[in-house]
Amino acid sequence: MKRTSAPTNAFAPPRRGGLRLLITGGAGFLGSHLAEHFLGQGHQVLVLDNFITGSFNNIKALMPHPDFAFIKQDVTDYIEVPGRLDAVFHFASPASPVDYAQYPIQTLKAGALGTHKTLGLAKDKKAIYVLASTSEVYGDPLVSPQPESYWGNVNPIGPRGVYDEAKRFAEAMAMAYQRTHKVRVRIARIFNTYGPRMRKNDGRAVPNFITQALAGKPITVYGRGRQTRSLCFVSDLVRGLDLLLHSDLATPVNIGNPDEHSIVAIARLIKKLTGSRSRIAFKPLPVDDPKVRRPDITLAVRKLRWKPAIPLEEGLKRTIDYFRG
């Protein structure tokens, strides 16, 4: 059994006041923002990542913090954390179509074995378990907006199935641990999120469009661009996850922005905000690309008192500034 490596910098012993948190995939786009947020709240944060899609640069500024520690490790290996843990955030997984096309087996293992390992740790530590699920559990939905009660329309053997089914399995495993072992489970179905620290080669619409626009290259839109996405700025998402952690909501909850925009409209807005002269180039629609994506956030509003606050144009300006840098 492969055991965890020692933290790069020592994880401070538990102290009174504040929480002690583990974030898997914490060097990724979402995980690093989550780590930064909780450090700012006065908590202790241990990040675990193997850098398949995460980046050390995302957590470099956090390394000197006395309440931060990092372990380079695959989440499917045995995880050992000395001392108390109050919460386990399982965010480790390739998360864009480009990533899970390149790493299909790793994606499935992160959703299956990684979920099993982290749930076992949460059970042992009597910690709250927060699972990063996804709107992709709804597949190419036949209803819009998508409520948590919708079971989805997923192709389990298509190219996107490795991610969709990994997350659906992870949800099932988490609920089984809740029912059988009384683990306090929180499941966030995360809709399209964007912001600083996304990778240029991420493969998702916003970083693709910004990178192409800033370089003066054609902005690639698939199909006719009529498919829709609902974009949530990362700070809004992190705030929602914090509220979820401190809630008693034991069933999946959508966290995303219900404002729906067509892909081509997003491309045109990014072209305008960057001042780019790029043309929009249309290419064939990928297999199983969802035609609509819009969350019903009634549950989050009612139970978490949460809704997004950052308008799309403001969030895109902040993201463009990051990509310019």
Cβ–Cβ < 8 Å for 128, 182: no
Instruction: Give pLDDT tens digits for 74-125.
Output: 999 999 999 999 999 999 999 999 999 999 999 999 999 999 999 999 999 9
Cβ–Cβ < 8 Å for 197, 322: yes
Domain residue ranges in the chain: 20-193+234-257+294-309
The band of 7, judged by pLDDT with boundaries at 50, 70 and 90, is low
pTM of the predicted model as reported, rounded to 2 decimal places = 0.95
Pairwise CA distance, residues 32 & 28, whole Å: 6
DSSP structural state of residue 83: S
Which amino acid, one-letter code, is at 16?
Answer: R
DSSP structural state of residue 139: B
163 as an active site residue: the answer is yes
Instruction: Give pLDDT tens digits for 255-304.
Output: 999 999 999 999 999 999 999 999 999 999 888 888 999 999 999 999 99
The active-site residue, picked from 100, 103, 163, 194, is: 163
3-state secondary structure of 195: coil
- Is the peptide bond preceding residue 284 cis, with omega within 30 degrees of 0? no
Which amino acid, one-letter code, is at 116?
Answer: H
Q: Where are the strands (E) in the chain, listed by range?
A: 20-24, 44-49, 68-72, 87-90, 128-134, 185-190, 193-194, 219-222, 228-230, 232-233, 253-255, 260-262, 280-283
Q: Which fold has domain 20-193+234-257+294-309?
A: Rossmann fold (3.40.50)
